[in-house]
Structure 1
Amino acid sequence: YLSGSGWAEYREKGEVCGIPLPKGMRESDRLPEPIFTPATKEEKGRHDENIPFDRMVKVVGKETAEKVRSIVVALYVKAAAYAKEKGILIADTKFELGTADGELILIDEALTPDSSRFWPAAGYAPGGPQKSFDKQFVRDYLLTLPWNKTAPGPRLPADVVEKTALKYREALKILTGKDIE
């Protein structure tokens, strides 16, 4: 789905991470097919940088880059299909991978409200921002504050923390049928 930094890049260039997209797409439109958007891992407090696939190939090699792309797209497709059956659209997500003893491994959380955009399928309406069960609520709150967008960020008020936790718990319950006690 076309949202977040991908939406901003599309409006500016008509592409995301060097991948051309059809003309006339709107915010939150479903992409014709899932795309792989690699990024560099920056130091704590700095934003990761999206890079084109050919730059990833130069950094990790063609075989590894293609393997990573294949794995993460397959993971996304499977997770998105499961979530859609439960009533949630996974608009996008990130997977952080690394290597240990020459093997590709997952090195951070995956498919959580912190690493993904979870939208209620029932209210999906392309053409603008979507309601969500993810950290977008916190991002939107932070946009109302005057700060330089560098770490450390402003302290979140208790009500913002509580509302965010409720959104995360709602996503958990919808996806798994379970709640945190």
Structure 2
Amino acid sequence: MTALLTTDLPLPAFRRGKVRDVYDLGASLLIVATDRISAFDCIMPEGIPGKGRILTQVANFWFGATRDILPNHLEATDPADYPASLQAHRDMLAGRSILVRRTRPLPVECVVRGYLAGSGLKEYQKSGTVCGIALPPGLRNADRLPEPIFTPSTKAEEGHDENIDFATMAGLIGADLAAQVREVSLALYRRGCELAAARGILLADTKFEFGLLPDGSLILIDEVLTPDSSRYWLADAWQPGANPPSLDKQFLRDYLEALPGWNKQPPAPHLPDHVIEGVRARYLDLAARFGIQA
């Protein structure tokens, strides 16, 4: 398979993100998940063949599994239902694109953590807190937290997102909306944990994004509970204090962290075949555990 690294459709470009190309259809947006992959805010020169289809199908599964908690932005997932101007591109769009309602995105990323890892672990080791939330002393990497915590971050257009406390988030979007977002994020995380546990997986942490419709209603947008936006660990191999085997892109991060001479700044290093195949295998494994054909 060849990785799809970019798209060029006969529509106005709305935005090109690290992974997704977004096109403007007026009241709706077309989101196309490419096979690009990023780490440490750098897009890798090589993509992961089929990754965009895997991400899209996993996200669509979770959009369906969580719609009773909060409505989402999906309008259509079959290119046959897209505008006539896109019908010539149906083969490329199939499985890796969605038509969505246009919203006003909230300027924060909504992270929920049930285990201590990543940037949360680093902050805890410095201060004993994560986003202003005090945690018990003596916690180790991959320890389960006493209860899931809501730890928002900024949504940086360039550079790194930064963890913020709840009060800062409330100052950005208003206290009532912040409280609603926190409650919904925790409910979505718990649903994810429940369905993942039934498949032998621990959902360590994840991020959600939300948008507002013209009437002010909150809906779930972007992606949800994908291996790009979440940490998924194999439950039978999880051991506090160690790095659990994962079904997400931690495999790529670990490779890059051990790579001599790269300072996590562009340009990103080329990826060897075994890393590309390793990431792809983990994403496919995750999808298969949920019965998803990607």
The question of a shared fold, defined as TM-score above 0.5 by the shorter chain, is answered with yes
TM-score, normalised via structure 1 length: 0.93
TM-score, normalised via structure 2 length: 0.58
Alignment-derived partner of residue 21 in structure 1: 135
1:94-133 Cα distance to aligned partner (Å, 9 max, x none):
0112223122232311101100000000111111211101
Question: Which structure is richer in relative contact order (CA contacts within 8 A, separation 6 or more)?
Answer: 2
Alignment-derived partner of residue 121 in structure 1: 235
Q: Among 185, 198, 220, which residue is 1:85 paired with?
A: 198
- Determine whether 1:51 maps to 2:170: no
Larger strand fraction of residues: 2
- Determine whether 1:156 maps to 2:286: no
1:20-42 Cα distance to aligned partner (Å, 9 max, x none):
00111111010111100101100
- For 2:283, what is the secondary structure of its paired residue? helix
- For 2:148, what is the secondary structure of its paired residue? coil
For the residues of structure 1 that align with 2:266 and 2:222, how far apart are their CA atoms? 20
- For 2:205, what is the secondary structure of its paired residue? strand
TM-align CA RMSD: 1.3
After TM superposition, the structure 1 stretch with the greater mean CA deviation from structure 2, 104-113 or 68-77, is 104-113
Q: Among 208, 216, 221, which residue is 1:95 paired with?
A: 208
- For 2:144, what is the secondary structure of its paired residue? coil
1:31-84 Cα distance to aligned partner (Å, 9 max, x none):
11110010110014x111110000001110000100000001000001101101
Alignment-derived partner of residue 104 in structure 1: 218
After TM superposition, the structure 1 stretch with the greater mean CA deviation from structure 2, 94-103 or 123-132, is 94-103
Change (3 A) 1:152 1:131: same
Alignment-derived partner of residue 153 in structure 2: 39
Q: How far does residue 161 in structure 1 lie from its aligned partner after superposition? A: 1.1
For the residues of structure 2 that align with 1:156 and 1:97, how far apart are their CA atoms? 33
In our comparison, the structure showing a higher alpha carbon Rg is 2
Structure 2 counterpart of 1:91, one-letter code:
A
What percentage of residue pairs aligned between the two structures are identical? Answer: 52
For the residues of structure 1 that align with 2:150 and 2:129, how far apart are their CA atoms? 12
Q: Which runs of 5+ in 2 are unaligned?
A: 1-114
- Determine whether 1:64 maps to 2:177: yes
